[in-house]
Chain A
Amino acid sequence: MTGSNRGKSAGSGAVLGGLLVPGKPQILLDPDGNPGWRSLHDSMRKAGEALMENGTELLVLYSTQWTSIIGHQFLADPEPKWTRVDEDFHELGTIDYHLKMDAEFAESWRQKATDRGLTARTVAYEGFPVDTGSLVALKLLNPENRIPACVVSCNMYADRAETVILGKATRDAVEALGLKVTAVAVSALSNRMWTRFIDPVDDRIHSAKDDEWNRKILEILGEGRLEDVSQLAREFSSQAHGDNRFKAIWWLSALMGQDNAFQGRVLDYQAVWGTGAGVVDLVPARRGSSNLEYDEDDAQTWGGDRGVLSSNPGEAT
C-alpha cells in the first residue's frame, strides 16, 4: 500500500491476526537438514500464503534477535538490501535480502511510541544488518515482498511495562494510518541451544522440561488465550529458557488487545538446534473473553526513571 491511498482507509485500521514464528536460520537455509526443519519451513510458507488472501496490508514484526539499547528502533529504510551471515551458523551460507519496508508506518510507529513516553528512533542506513530472525520470517512468510513490512527491535533494558506499551503504540499507529495488519512475533519458545555441533538429524528439544513447558504454552495458545500466555511469560521464561524472556508475547498480546478471545491454531512445533520452534496463528474470535484474574500491571504510558541511581554530573564525587 502506498502513502497516496492511505487516507481511503483511515479510521479503519485493524489487527487481522497474529503469528508467532521461529527465527533460526536452519529453517530458511537448510530445511532438508532435518524433517522438523522442513516441516517448519513449509508451515511458515503456508502461513505466508494465507496472508496473501486475508487482506493484510502490512506486516508488523517484533524480533528478539534484533537487540537495542537506546530505546526501541524501527526499520525505516524503504528497501533494505544487503547480505546476512549468521553469527553461529555461517556455514549454512549467506542470506541475500532485498526487502520492502513501510517507512511511513515506521515514522508513525516511532511517533506513537514517543507519545506514550518511550524512547524510540527509526533507522535507515545502507548496510544496516537486518537480523536473522526478521529475515527468516520475511523470506518465508512474504518471499516476494507482496506485503510491505516494518520491524521493531527488542530493547535489552525493557521489561514488561515498556514492551506492553510498545504493543499499544503499535496499535495506535495501525489505527492512525488505517491499515489492516498482521502482527508477527519472531521468537523461539524455549531457547536453549545445543552448545556442541550436532548432526542435524539428531536434533530434538534440549530437555524434557523445556519440551513440556513449550507444549503447555502451545496448548493455551491453541485455545486462543493469548493474554494468559502473556501473563505466564515470566514463569515460562525462567523455567524453560524463554527467548529473550519471551518478551515478544508481551508485545503481541498488547497489540492484539490483551485478550483471550482468539481462535488459536498451532500450525507446527519442532526442535531447531535444541530450541522450541512453534508456528501459531491467532485470529480474533467473536466469543467474549474469559473472566480471568491477572497479576501483571497494565501500563498505558512509560513514566519510569532508570536514572534513580545515576550520579548527578554536578556531584562532587
Chain B
Amino acid sequence: MSQGSIVAGCLAPHPPHLVYAANPPQNEPRSSGAGAWQGLLDAYASLRGSLESKEYDVLVVHTPHWRTVVGHHVLACPEFKGLSVDPVFPNLFRFHYDLRVDVELAEAMAEEGEAAGLVMKTMRNPDFRVDYGTLTCCHLVRPEWDLPIVALSSNRAYTYFSSEYGDREMLILGEATRRAIEKTGRKALVLGSCSLSHRHFTEEPADPEDPAFEHIHNRNQALWDERVLGHMKMGDCATLLAEMPDFIDQAVSECAEGSLTWLLGALGIPDWPATVHGYGTVIGTGNAVVEWEPGPPTAVEGRP
C-alpha cells in the first residue's frame, strides 16, 4: 500500500443556514432565496472549484455538534441513514442523509489517537443521529455524497480544563489523524468545521434569510476575525495558535470546540499561506472558508 496523504485541509464552517439557503432536496424546509448568506455560498462554490483538480477518496471532518466528554469519538458503522433535525434551528435544518463511513480509516484514527495517549472511542450504534455540523460541512464541500466520510466528535477539553489544554489535545489528535491517513494509504480531504467569532443574535427575522438583518454581532468580533484570517493568509499559524486562547475568550470563538486546532495539527501547523475563499456572517457569527494545500512531510512548529 502506498503511503496516504492529506490532499487539502479546509476550514469549512457549518451554519445550517447555508444548507437551508441552498435548498437541496435532502432538506425539508424551503428558503426564500433572499440572499443573506450568498457570500458564504459563493465561498463554498469557490472551494469546490479549487478541489475539482484534486483526487481524494474520503472526507475527514471534525464537528462541534457531536459533543463528547469521555474522549474523542469517531463514527464507525459502515453507513448511516436517517433524518437529522437540528435541535437549535429545527426550522432551518431537517436533513435526510444516507452516507457511508470509511470504517478502516476510522478505526485507524482511533488506534493512532490511543497510541498518542488520547481517550478514543469508536461509535458503532447504527441508530445514532449524525449531527448537523458533519452533514452541513460535508454537503457544502461535496454535495454529491459519493465518497465515504469519517467524523470526529468534539471533546469538551476546552471547557472542562482550559483553552491551552484543549489546544494541546487537539494538536495531538490532528497529528494522529494524519498518521492514520498515511498508514491506511488514503487520499483525504480534512475539514475543520467551525465558525470563527461566535456571538449569535438571539432573535430571528420573519424570513431568516433576510439580508437586512444579517451582519457581524459587533465590531470586536469582526476585528478578531480579520486578525485570524490575516495569520492564515500570511502562513503564520504558529502565531494564530499562540493567540488562540485570547481569540476564544474575547470573540466567544467556536474554535473552543477544537476543530480548527485539530485541522492545524493534521496539517503540521502550516507556515505557508492559506487561500481564503470568502468570509461572511451568519446570525451574527463570523465564518470563513479557507483552504490549505498540503504541507511538507515534516511539520515545523513555531516561527522565529
Q: Which of A53-61, A68-76, A258-266 contacts B (4 or more CB under 8 A)?
A: A68-76
**Assembled-state Cα–Cα distance A153/B47 (Å):** 36
Q: Is the interface of B mostly helix, strand, loop or mixed?
A: loop
Number of B residues with CB within 8 Å of any CB on chain A: 46
- Residues of A close to B108: CB separation below 8 A: none
Q: Shortest distance in angstroms between B200's beta carbon and chain A's nearest beta carbon?
A: 5
Q: Is the interface of A mostly helix, strand, loop or mixed?
A: loop
Decide if A119 touches B129 in the complex (CB within 8 Å).
Answer: no
Q: A70-B202, A125-B85, A129-B85 are in contact. Are A85 and B127 (CB under 8 A)?
A: yes
Whether A127 is near chain B, meaning CB under 8 Å from some CB there, is yes
Instruction: Map CB proximity to B onto A155-175 as digits: 1 under 8 Å, 0 otherwise.
Output: 101000000000000000000
Whether B121 is near chain A, meaning CB under 8 Å from some CB there, is yes
Whether B89 is near chain A, meaning CB under 8 Å from some CB there, is yes
Decide if A68 touches B127 in the complex (CB within 8 Å).
Answer: no
Q: Which of B172-180, B214-222, B242-250, B267-275 contacts A (4 or more CB under 8 A)?
A: B214-222
Decide if B90 touches A125 in the complex (CB within 8 Å).
Answer: yes
Instruction: For B125, give its contact among A93, A123, A194, A311 (CB under 8 Å).
Output: A93
Instruction: For B90, give its contact among A85, A93, A128, A155 (CB under 8 Å).
Output: A128
Decide if A196 touches B70 in the complex (CB within 8 Å).
Answer: yes
For this complex, into which size category does the number of interface residues on chain A fall? Answer: 35 or more
**Assembled-state Cα–Cα distance A317/B121 (Å):** 46
| Closest residue on chain A to residue B95 by CB atoms | A127
Decide if A90 touches B69 in the complex (CB within 8 Å).
Answer: no
| Closest residue on chain A to residue B70 by CB atoms | A88
Q: A70-B204, A309-B218, A310-B217 are in contact. Are A87 and B87 (CB under 8 A)?
A: no
Decide if B127 touches A127 in the complex (CB within 8 Å).
Answer: no
Q: A93-B125, A309-B217, A309-B218 are in contact. Are A69 and B88 (CB under 8 A)?
A: yes
Decide if B216 touches A311 in the complex (CB within 8 Å).
Answer: yes
User: Which residues of A approach B to under 8 Å, CB–CB?
Assistant: 66-71, 83-85, 87-91, 93-94, 119, 123, 125-129, 131, 153, 155, 157, 192-197, 273, 306-307, 309-311, 313, 317
5 contacts between A and B (CB under 8 A): A70-B202, A94-B127, A119-B203, A129-B85, A306-B201
